[in-house]
Structure 1
Amino acid sequence: MSQQDELKILTPVGMLGYGFDEALFWSAVSDGVDAIICDSGSTDSGPARLALGTMSGSREGYTAELEKFLLAAHHFHVPVLIGSAGGDGANDHVDIFVDIINEIVTRLHLRPMKVVKIYAEVSKDIVQSELDAGRITPCGDAVPELQQNDVEDASRIVAQMGIEPYLKAMEEHPDFDVIIGGRSYDPAPYAAFCVHKGFPNLDIAWHMGKIMECGALCAKPKSREALAIVRHDSFDLRPLNPSSRCTAVSVAAHSLYEKTRPDILFGPGGSLYLQDTTYEELPDNRTVRVRGAKFVPLEQGQYTVKLEAARTRGYHSCFFGGFTDPILISQIDSFIRTVKDHVASVCKFPYDLKLTTYGTRNQISMFSDTNHGETLPPSIAIHGDARAETQAQATRVIHAARVGCMHGSYPGQVATSGNFAMPCAPLDIPMGRVCEFCIYHLMPVDDPTALFHISASVVDHNSDEEPPALVIPAYSPSGFPHASVAKPENNVPRPTILSPPAPPGMCYLGEFASVIRSKNAGPYELTFDIMFDSLAKYFFAKTSGVLDVPKFAELYGIQISDIVAAVWWEPAMALKVTVKRPIVSGRFGETDTHGSCQHAKLLRVLIPAMKDLDE
């Protein structure tokens, strides 16, 4: 058999359950693809899934998308690989996905499907034994040392698998139709499939998988459906949405997204070095060819897997509403203190209470508050969150806080019938258990497959009925208002809302940079990306000194030692700064679980005005 020259991999969406265009999907499948691979996991939404055993999407949503995948497997014999089932990759969620597959095969009378499961949960006894031996280390400087109670309190522990369990599953079951993996390093199923199909260059396989696991997020405008064409010395990336395109910069910039640093990507079994990577825009003006990454494997005996776990810490209740009285708003800080004093006077048991106001200053920030604006807003919102040992106690605290907001007095008060606008009932909302991450650590393993149980079964039905005829819908751009009707980026003026105007000879970074964003880089780190639309701007900003490490630390009120990485990255014309998260993602008191609203301070950084911007 001659060696295959190309491998085509289709990813319909960067997160299973988020939805994709059926016509674009079937167009790619009917043109011919070698696999459908999709990620289903993330820690971005906080610890609740791991702690409570919930899934990131609904069963109905997963069913709708898996149905398309199984129809492709039935009619075109395309294998399907799914990683991190249900969001957290717990064993129960692997089983739920297989149960969904059983239901679809039976309902649609599909041919028998061989389904392989890979479990990723790890027993507490194994983790405790490794902890006692001193062999478990934090995954990053922001993560504390693992304690015995962290293991004991964990609802479940999952290990993040690399390519080896997927390779073993495919070698043992080469006739598989579907693989449902538990918690996986996002690019692992992509890289493993490449190796299994005779493309063993891990430089190519890992880098392709690391980009493709987000679908066409690397395109401009960002979209969902993506196709990778893998060769032995390079790979091509192409969005399927005809209104999107990949560019050299947009693909290079993806190495910034939600990662600690852009030049080195750490993963199970080794690290991917991107310093010598090249990005070539092809003549179709939509596809980018990538080559040059270098995967450096760990030395023998150094292989580690990342453990993840979360626990519950009491119960919480909340309320939401707002104030409009300018007399109250002008003294909101002192008023909030009187509310807290009222709660303390009526709740004589341990509790935590966080009252967050929206509109007077940036309390969404995880960092030190900004100053009040020059003018008071016409109205502000307030969110209360209370935690206690029981749900009843948490609701009692939040009730007392809401009553304090509603009937508390303040100097100069004229509106004596009540202060608080309450938009919805119930007024005091029980929220269930509070969750927090407790394990995010590395554990060495002698065998990368030993922790991950693999099993296979044939899903069949007892019916002579034929499956439904395959009807491929026509593509309609109306399904993509965010991308298909987008104007070329150079023709879309950016709204300027920063005021007052920058001083003469200066401009705001929010007007100078093309992208300023923040995002979680795991639960314990927050990363900032500042991108520029020309090399001239990039080098000007780099040499201006306004974005050096001490000034960044001063801007966010943190210690320089809290900055994990600060890297200027020319391929994407960007600066990446990653810091220790002031509060672990999703823990009580969180203001921004996703970490995507922490960029605002950077918008108002002053940078010298650059002359001759078109040069």
Structure 2
Amino acid sequence: MPPSTDPAARVGILTPSGMLGAGFTPESIERGLTLQPDVIAVDGGSTDSGPHYLGAGVAKTTAAAVGRDLRILLKAAATADIPLIVGSCGTSGTDSGVDWVAGIAEQIMAEEGLDLKIARIYSEQEATFLKDELDAGRIHPLAPHGPLDPETLESCTHIVGMMGHEPFVDAINAGAQVVLAGRATDTALAAAVPLMLGMPAGPTWHASKIVECGGQCTTDPRAGGVFATVDQQGFTIEPLDPANACTPISVAAHMLYETANPYRMREPAGTLDVTDATYTALDERRVRVEGSRFEPAEQHTVKLEGARVTGYETVSFTGIRDPYIVANIDRWAALLRVILSERVSQTLGLTDDDYGLDIRLYGHNAILEDIDPDSGPPREVGVMLLVNAPSQAAATAIAKVANPLMLHLPLPEMEYLPSFAFATSPAETQRGAAYEFVLNHVVDVDSPTGMFRTQHSREVSHV
């Protein structure tokens, strides 16, 4: 669709929260509808919570939480007769995640008597297809990753491609009223309808970036979602909660979030440039943004995300309050590692190369480690032992060898046997398969929709 030439044209984006299942008040959606939105867009996931959700193909949210939010949004979309778009369904955007959210949505619609056309957009990729693309020289690494080898593709339990806005546009043009998609850029789901309706790319992509996390661009992120209005010159943004506010600083600051460069952000179709953007307070709650630009890319790319099993984990956690141990906690942790390695070798016949273990000292330096500015002794320390081994049985056996050490290990010079406190009984908790991200690469594509498959709830005619 060519850009709109109507200077009065505007497109409203209602973003209820930063993630489906995170929760919001029904009142905020009711107020959002009074602002005349053209689309409701909400993210369904991300990689923020680590590789497990992609590797295992499961969601971090509960069906009850997703269903609660979806019920409100489906009814709102039906009332306003506007599309509802959810991206990265099921947290990581696997095909099973899309089907999981779609199943919840279909059940809700049956209960509420809603008749909405659903499109499912799948983003999972086959290793065989990607190996052909790799052989053709169409896959390239993103820093800090190096060149990709075929074995890495074959080792992944799930691989997804990150779609831009184009598959959403196609689905809506084909008649979909609810679009449930696999992995997508956080901005694409909000940008789709404004771009489809002819809004300029610069303001659209910038607005979509700002609304991606709901209320995070406001002075009170806990207060819910936001509403952006995109027009020919820029966009205006405001919170859905009348007691909340957007300020020039809170809006501009969101360009710092999850970006390597606060002025430029790459999308599959090009790069958003906000170097010359201006942020002006219209009143105590609303901010006006102008001057954003979008540079189309010479080559459209689709980013790949993939995860594979690294082993199986067992975790054990004990608390230490003995003042002498706490004052010498680094030395104690080093001793634990040495003695545990020796005993695992003696009892299980395993070498250090056969397994991995991590000792994390919570209350001391578990988060910042050597760069922690607080050099004073802690009052108490929680010791987490995380064991990774080729099998669950091996990981648990190693943690069990560590059990007496994590209960009573003294330093060599101590003349008494200290006692520590396990957090749970049994002390060892099996975590199952552990995963790691192994793909941070892009595929050069001829079509922005070619790697994605769309399934409609029933045959619909193009509009």
Taking structure 1 as the reference length, the TM-score comes to 0.70
- 1:135 shift after superposition: 2.4
- Counterpart of 1:86, as a letter, is G
Residue 33 (structure 2) pairs with residue 34 (structure 1): no
**Residue in structure 2 matched with residue 72 of structure 1 by the alignment:** 76
2:132 corresponds to which letter in structure 1? Answer: S
Tell me which of 34, 48, 54 is aligned to 2:52.
Answer: 48
Q: Does 1:451 align with 2:459?
A: no
| Residue pair 2:38, 2:193 contacting (<8 A) in 1 also | no
Letter in 1 for 2:284: N
Q: Which residue of 1 aligns with 2:293?
A: 294
Cross-structure match for 1:402:
403
Map of 2:394 onto structure 1: 393
The question of whether the paired residues in 2 share the 8 Å contact of 1:327 and 1:412 is answered with: no
1:370 to partner: Cα distance: 4.5
- Identity fraction in percent: 34
Which residue of the partner structure matches residue 231 of structure 1?
Answer: 231
- 1:489-528 paired onto structure 2 within 5 Å: none
The amino acid that maps onto 1:106 is A
- Cross-structure match for 1:57: 61
Match of 2:16 among 12, 19, 35: 12
Partner of 1:121: 124
Partner of 1:319: 316
Contact 1:363 1:369 in 2 (8 A): no
Question: How far is 1:323 from its partner?
Answer: 1.0
Secondary structure of residue in 2 paired with 1:315: strand
- Counterparts in 2 of 1:190-339, with a 5 A limit? 190-199=190-199, 201-222=200-221, 223-282=223-282, 284-299=283-298, 302-339=299-336
Whole-Å Cα distance in 2 between the matches of residues 178 and 332 of structure 1?
55
Alignment check: 8 A CA contact 1:218 1:253 kept: yes
> How far apart in 1 are the matches of 2:138 and 2:81?
44
Given that 1:247 and 1:287 are in contact with CA atoms closer than 8 Å, whether structure 2 keeps it comes out as yes
Aligned position for 1:523: none
2:375 is the counterpart of 1:373: yes
Instruction: Tell me how far 1:165 sits from its aligned partner.
Output: 1.2
Tell which deviates more after alignment, 335-344 or 79-88: 335-344
User: Which residue of the other structure, out of 158, 183, 201, is the alignment partner of 2:160?
Assistant: 158
Query: Unaligned stretches of 5+ in structure 2?
Result: none
User: Contact 2:318–2:421 at 8 Å: present in 1 too?
Assistant: yes
2:439 alignment partner AA: I
Give the structure 2 partner of residue 23 of structure 1. 27
Amino acid paired to 1:304: T
* Alignment partner, residue 557 of structure 1: none
1 CA distance for matches of 2:411 and 2:22? 47
Give the aligned residue type for 2:55.
A
1:339 Cα offset (Å)? 2.1
Q: Which residue of 1 aligns with 2:174?
A: 172
The aligned counterpart of 2:135 is 132
**Contact 1:229/1:237 (8 A) holds in 2:** yes
> Which 10-residue stretch deviates more, 428-437 or 213-222?
213-222
Give the letter for the 1:327 counterpart. Answer: Y
1:106 Cα deviation after fit: 1.3
Shift of 1:221: 2.5
Gaps of 5+ in 1: 460-615
Contact map agreement 2:318 2:407 (CA 8 A) in 1 = no
Report how far residue 153 of structure 1 moved.
Answer: 0.6
Q: Could you tell me how far apart the structure 1 residues matched to 2:374 and 2:279 are?
A: 45
Amino acid at match of 1:114: K
SS of the aligned residue for 1:127 comes to: helix
**Hey, what does 2:421 align to over in structure 1?**
421
CA deviations on 1:537-579 (whole Å, 9 max, x unpaired) are xxxxxxxxxxxxxxxxxxxxxxxxxxxxxxxxxxxxxxxxxxx
Contact 2:277 2:292 in 1 (8 A): yes
Distance in 1, Cα, partners of 2:373 & 2:82: 57
* Per-residue deviation, residues 4-32 of structure 1 (Å, max 9, x unmatched): 62222111101111111111112222453
Letter in 1 for 2:252: A
Q: How many pairs were matched up? A: 447
State the Cα distance separating 1:69 from its structure 2 match.
Answer: 1.0
* Deviation (angstroms), 1:81: 0.8
1:425-467 deviations in Å (ceiling 9; x for gaps)? 23111111111001110110111111111121149xxxxxxxx
CA contact (8 A) 2:28 2:224 kept: no
CA distance in 1, matches of 2:451, 2:20: 25
Is the 1:328–1:413 contact (alpha carbons within 8 Å) kept by the matching residues of 2?
A: no
**How much is the aligned-residue C-alpha RMSD, in angstroms?**
2.0
Distance 1:388 1:278, change over 3 A: same
SS in 2 for 1:107: helix
Task: Tell me the amino acid that sits aligned with residue 169 of structure 1.
Answer: A
Cα distance change of structure 1 residues 321 and 180 upon mapping to structure 2, 3 Å threshold: same
Shift of 1:337: 3.0
Distance 1:342 1:32 in 2: 67
CA deviations on 1:328-359 (whole Å, 9 max, x unpaired) are: 22332332233223322332221111111123
Q: Which has the higher helix share?
A: 2
Distance 2:420 2:236 in 1: 56
**Deviation at 1:190?**
1.7
Cα distance in 2 for residues equivalent to 1:381 and 1:37: 41
Match of 1:185 in 2: 185
Aligned-partner Cα distance in 1 for 2:181–2:329? 50
